Copies of this chain bind each other. A is one copy, B any other.
Amino acid sequence: MRLSEGVEWGLHCCLTLAWIGNKEPVPTAKLAAHFDVPPAYLNKCLQALARAGILLSVAGAHGGFQLAKAPAELTLLDVVTAIEGPDEAFRCTEIRRSEGCTRDENRRPCAIAAAMHQAEAAWRAALSAHTLANIMTAAPPAAAERTRRWYALIRR
């Protein structure tokens, strides 16, 4: 089991956009250069975030991406779901023989699937407890200033 790279990239991009101040869109190429990741693929990830309503994409010259929500309204779960998709990590393929089951047994999922899904719910709950604003507070204060300074330099 493994989360895709896009999750980390997306989270850092959101954090960066928040720190910059969200006054204007930032193009993918700038962010990719900052993080040293393939620009085209990062673009793909940011597209997914835009489709999910997390980012706002503006086309054309001086375009780019910016946050569509306030940092306090954006949770880690939102970003993870946008990149990874809404599917559960554990998928019950109903491996148990259901022919012999009573009707009542077939109605409810098997105990194993229930337990796995409950654990996954705990994970999702923990993710949604962290907002982007939260992360900004937890991060070292110097990081925000450093990010702003970097952006002021490469802005055009």
* Interface-located stretch among A21-29, A45-53, A60-68, A110-118: A110-118
The answer to whether the Cβ of A76 comes within 8 Å of any Cβ in the partner chain is yes
A to B CB contacts below 8 Å, 29 in the list: A1-B1, A1-B3, A1-B4, A1-B84, A2-B89, A3-B90, A8-B91, A8-B95, A9-B95, A37-B95, A96-B143, A97-B146, A101-B142, A101-B143, A102-B142, A104-B140, A105-B140, A105-B142, A111-B139, A114-B138, A115-B134, A118-B126, A119-B123, A119-B126, A119-B130, A122-B123, A122-B125, A123-B123, A123-B126
Interface size on A, residues (CB 8 A): 55
Residue of B111, B119, B127 near A138 (CB, 8 A) is B111
A135 within 8 Å of B (CB atoms): yes
Q: Is A120 an interface residue (CB 8 A)?
A: yes
Bound-complex Cα distance A105 to B134 (A):
18
Q: Give A94's nearest chain B residue, CB to CB.
A: B8
Closest to A118 in B: B126
Please determine whether A116 and B12 come into contact, CB atoms closer than 8 angstroms.
no
A56-94 Cβ-contact flags toward B at 8 Å (1 or 0): 000000000000000000001000000010010111110
Distance between A136 CB and nearest chain B CB, rounded to angstroms: 8
